[in-house]
Amino acid sequence: MTDTTDTIHKVLIIGSGPSGWTAAIYAARANLNPVVYVGVAKQDPGPILPGGQLMLTTEVENYPGFPDGVEGPEMMMKFEQQARRFGTTVVGEDIVKCDFSNDGSPHTLHTSEGNTVRAHAVIISTGATANWLGLESEMNLATTGGGVSACAVCDGALPVFRDQPVAVVGGGDTALEEATYLTKFASTVYIIHRRDALRGSKVMQERYLNQPNAKVMWNKTVVECLSTPDDFGNEKLYAIKLKDTVTGEESEMAVKGMFVAIGHTPATNFLRDTGLEFDDAGYIDLKTRSSKTNIAGVFAAGDVADANYRQAVTAAGMGCQGAIDAEHWLADEGLN
């Protein structure tokens, strides 16, 4: 165990998605010498990789500045390179425990390697992970661009899904919103729901069901994603295997895309006993339009504090806010 409490960082950033790297870029250019704890790969509650959810996205077409699209991992590499260019320090460890101070003294944080670090300002950018079905075939295709995704807004307009049948798994407002969005591109959009009634609001149900290419598969669960190699040897989804929750009967349904919409889990478990305030869904509660939390010197940015948008561009914008708010706070405290 290494104790580095003699060194007090001006800005420490937890997380390395679009919000974390953007915060680092802004903080570094403000001569705040930020350090980013990028995290380590893990599987609980779902696949979590340094770089965030974009590490599971093959092609990003809706981020400004990339007219021909960009691979998610490549985008995150560029973000990191830009942050490093301005002097950001990058540490390949997780922050596993935080002792936030309310008396004006530096915050103390503990890493996965047993190290202790301190910082005046902390920006939390740990994101939120999509909830998955837990199928091996699902994750193989989700991580290789094989036709499985957890974000219709991110991936639904890709050419591979246009004029093709696709499925959305879920029954709440998120699933209905994603499915309605997909009706603009797909030939048919199937909602796969394990019950005989949708859970989403009546307004969202009507909006989806009024689309001519919208269908619901009642009392069904997905038990396997079926794929076949394309001309380049890459596995691509061609059908999903369904199981009837009433009869137990199994069947196959041909689809070229499957979008999992059963919720997200914010990466906040390590923050539960810190005094931070959360909303009912477990996201960090930002009570103002800034990135400030209820604890002085602690800020939050990106999907960890955003249950509504969950887009790379909005996360990056929040990362900018976090760095600027931290810079102003440090100045007000005479710590910059």
Residues involved in catalysis: 151, 154-155
Which among 107, 86, 95 is positioned nearest to 34, based on CA atoms?
86
Which among 138, 137, 164, 162 is positioned nearest to 150, based on CA atoms?
138
Pairing of strands 128-130, 148-149: unpaired
Which among 200, 195, 164 is positioned nearest to 182, based on CA atoms?
164
CA atoms within 13 A on the CB side of 115: 14
Distances (CA, A) of 188 to 180, 241, 255, 260: 11, 17, 9, 16
Instruction: Report helix, strand or coil for 23.
Output: helix
Eight-state DSSP code of residue 106? P
Instruction: Report helix, strand or coil for 213.
Output: coil
Q: Name, in order, each residue with C-beta under 8 angstroms of 325's C-beta and a sequence gap of 6 or more.
A: 290, 291, 292, 299
* Conformation bin of residue 255: beta by default, left when phi > 0, alpha when psi is -120 to 50: beta
Calpha distance 83→163 (Å, rounded): 40
Q: Which residues pair with 165 in a beta bridge?
A: 188
**Residue 201 corresponds to which amino acid?**
S
Q: What are phi and psi of 319, to 5 degrees?
A: -65, -40
